[in-house]
């Protein structure tokens, strides 16, 4: 994230931008809430005629898309402009068909955040992993999504940290 983006990177701005973003809007994905500290996000995938598969249930690609940029965007908001944050890899386990609107809650705990900060404090890379359970309207798990991220301080902030230690 660059400095200009960091100045406007606020939960309400991110929520509005992503809810207006064609890939989310078209897939029926909506951010319901983002906490002020970017630590919690709640989302919904609406079941629409155009995102159903041949079996008339939620299209798997839409379920996967529901989780796509969320943890990266959360960590960008939490860590700010000093860090690179990218998705590195992901996998999905489809457990049962999604026959209704689907919901996903995302959370970055204090322990997870502290581990990331500890691992990256000297400029090292960190690959935190997160698991999200996508649930139907009754709370039954429809899929489990694993995401691994890449997090590292940007070079100029690594240099500053090294200079401060000298």
Give pLDDT tens digits for 64-107: 999 998 999 999 999 999 999 999 999 999 999 999 999 999 99
Give the residue-averaged pLDDT of 16-33. Answer: 93
Q: Residue 135: what are its φ and ψ, rounded to 5°?
A: -120, 155
Position of tokens 């990331």?
116
Give the residue-averaged pLDDT of 121-125. Answer: 93
| pTM, to two decimals | 0.89
- Residue spans per domain, the chain: 3-155
Q: What pLDDT score does 51 carry?
A: 87
The pLDDT-based confidence of 158 (bands split at 50, 70, 90) is confident
Q: Residues 43-76: pLDDT tens digits?
A: 999 999 888 889 999 999 999 999 998 999 999 9
Q: With contact defined as beta carbons under 8 Å apart, do 78 and 128 qualify?
A: no
Q: What pLDDT score does 65 carry?
A: 93
Closest CA to 53 of 93, 95, 99: 99
Whole-number average pLDDT of the chain = 92
| CATH topology for the 3-155 domain | Thiol Ester Dehydrase; Chain A (3.10.129)
């Amino acid at each position: 994230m660059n400095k200009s983006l960091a100045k406007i990177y606020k939960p309400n701005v991110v929520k509005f931008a992503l809810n207006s973003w064609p890939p989310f809007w078209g897939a029926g994905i909506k951010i319901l809430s983002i906490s002020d500290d970017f630590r919690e996000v709640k989302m919904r995938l609406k079941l629409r005629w155009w995102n159903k598969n041949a079996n008339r249930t939620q299209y798997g690609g839409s379920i996967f898309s529901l989780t796509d940029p969320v943890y990266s965007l959360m960590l960008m908001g939490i860590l700010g402009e000093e860090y690179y944050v990218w998705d590195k890899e992901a996998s999905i386990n489809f457990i049962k068909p999604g026959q209704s609107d689907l919901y996903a809650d995302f959370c970055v705990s204090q322990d997870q955040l502290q581990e990331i900060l500890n691992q990256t404090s000297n400029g090292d890379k960190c690959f935190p992993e997160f698991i999200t359970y996508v649930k139907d309207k009754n709370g039954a798990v429809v899929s489990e999504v694993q995401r691994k991220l890449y997090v590292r301080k940007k070079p100029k902030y690594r240099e500053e940290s090294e200079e401060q230690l000298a």
